[in-house]
């Protein structure tokens, strides 16, 4: 009975480690995505600013 309990605990420990690894992986992916979207947003902002500037130049 005791050995069964120990085995179950061991399995839970392994599973817990796998789950925490998965969560860490997910968090790093989230960070990468966030930085990617921030970069994209910055690029879009610059593009929009440039097009507005060009339109103003054309109007002048």
Q: What is the pTM of this model?
A: 0.46
CA distance 34 to 20: 21
Helix (H/G/I), strand (E/B), else coil: 60: coil
- Whether 30 shows a pLDDT value over 80: the answer reads yes
Residue in the block written with tokens 């097009």? 51
Beta carbons within 10 angstroms of residue 27's beta carbon: 10
- Give the helix/strand (H/E) hosting 16: helix 2-59
DSSP one-letter code for 1: -
Residue 39 banded pLDDT, cuts 50, 70, 90: very high
């Amino acid at each position: 009975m005791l050995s069964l309990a120990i085995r179950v605990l061991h399995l839970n420990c392994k599973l817990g480690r796998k789950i925490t690894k998965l969560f860490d992986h997910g968090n790093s992916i989230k960070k990468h995505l966030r930085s990617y979207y921030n970069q994209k947003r910055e690029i879009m902002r610059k593009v929009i600013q440039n097009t507005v500037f060009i339109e103003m130049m054309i109007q002048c």
